[in-house]
Amino acid sequence: MAFQEYHIVGESSWSGLDNFILVATDSAFWKAWGRTLYYVGLTLLLGFLTPVLLALMLAEIPKGKIFFRTLYFLPHLTSALVIALLWKLMYDPTENGMLNQFLALLGIARKSWLQDPAWAMVCCILPGAWAGAGMASLIYVAALQSLPSDYYEAAAIDGAGILARFRHITLPQIFPLMIINFVGAFIAAFQGMGSIFLLTFGGPGDATNVLSLAIWKEAYNNLRFSTATTMAWFLGIALIAFTYFQIRILRKVEFRRAEE
């Protein structure tokens, strides 16, 4: 399809590299790439680091560990559609919106969350980051529980603080797991558009029109399947190259079985 002038009805003609040249010289395509990189960066910042911090806190809770782990895991069991619609109600730009009610208590003027280009991208990322943090944090909690306690006892005797123990003991031990999760989170961030589709559909303007959504619009709104397939080729090649780079890094990482 990328090498053709494809039509759903009727005969499709061969176009060679015309679609690739058209996409490569389209400024809107590269702007979508820029928004996608911004979206991926924010998604990894909020959705990848949050589970690590949450796991560290859950591992240090003295009482009610099972309760809090269950509490944070429950959003993962909820449908993504329900979560997006729930947050859309919270983002209500009127005074009835929950977030605006919270701002009113603090004496801050209400905001048009999804209609504001400065906030729209962050608002689209938060529902997924909130729903996925619990599941990812449980994986890290399991890894933290498998760490030898002797290391922490020796560090405590030497007077190491919380940050020093995290930097020199915890982080090196869970770093291989973080790399594996990072690969999956990175690829999923490039492909993810569900929240954007339901909350803003690329708006306001093109503020949240990431590449995966632009491909969808090109195919199913504009019915230009050849151009959409070509755009998908660019995205796929970039992800394949990144995955290959990550695999080369993983070869140098040492993995050990966790002791019971």
**pLDDT tens readout for residues 145-176:** 877 778 777 877 877 777 787 788 888 878 87
Q: Does the pLDDT value for residue 17 go beyond 70?
A: yes
Distance of CA 80 to the CA centre of its chain: 13
Sign of dihedral through CA atoms 9, 13, 17, 22?
negative
What mean pLDDT value characterizes the chain? Answer: 87
CB atoms within 10 A of CB 143: 18
Distance between CA atoms of 124 and 24, rounded to whole angstroms?
28
- Contacts made by residues 38-42, CB under 8 angstroms, sequence distance 24+: 38/121, 39/121, 39/124, 39/125, 39/189, 39/196, 39/208, 39/210, 40/186, 40/189, 40/190, 42/121, 42/122, 42/125
Least Cα distance to 219 among 230, 208, 209 occurs for 230
Segment 100-122 shows an average pLDDT of: 92
Q: pLDDT tens digits, residue range 198-230?
A: 999 999 999 999 999 999 999 999 999 999 999
pTM across the whole model:
0.85
Least Cα distance to 121 among 44, 39, 189 occurs for 39
Domains in the chain, start-ordered, CATH in brackets? 14-250 (1.10.3720.10)
pLDDT at 184: 80
